[in-house]
Structure 1
């Protein structure tokens, strides 16, 4: 095999459709655009959701609900996840930075520790919020829950 003998596989490369190059090409005249109308003109672009004048789906469906702009959302992290992290990193202090480094939270996430699972290790945990069950489980294991 040499560089000058390399070719694409048979049938993998097709010539592009050359439209508007005279009647002999078979695609002259209207250039596969049909006769008249907006779609035959240059510069035409269909609006997204346009259904040919039929009432579009997004207008047929009713509006409902709203987004509360004052909502504060927290990234939930459970005790079983913290236990896994403690076993993996072999640390006794769980900070927000440590959670971010291990991919459990993003840069601007507020963190809430929830009480699912069992915590065996004695750890000091820093987070923005804790559930009651999480605080009880942390203190029962001999650890400490610190709100930021």
Structure 2
């Protein structure tokens, strides 16, 4: 990324848009299709959520795209339900909205997948989501959990 575009990106708000149901089928191949073993990402995200949250027992997830080209998923919740996450690898925990909890699970999965596959495209996805997380109201909790 050239310096001028990077500076513009730093000052431009990143927004998230929920993917409509009729477009969900193409979400993974469209955003992650060039990444080795992309088909394993969704179950790995579920596994991270299961590892981080004892109250997670599966469910419906919503897909979102980011205005910076990123994409992630988050569990749907009833009535603004909070999710309690604890990372036993660093001892940090927090109570988060479903969006923030999903971002944590995705960031963990994206990071590990980038290391496992040595994919620059996967690394880019990690940083696009991280850039969104850095401006999120729950930034501090997200960063402590993924540290």
Pairwise TM-score range, normalised by the shorter structure: under 0.3
The structure, 1 or 2, with the larger RCO (C-alpha pairs under 8 Å, 6+ apart) is 2
Greater percentage in helix: 2
Structure with higher Rg: it is 1
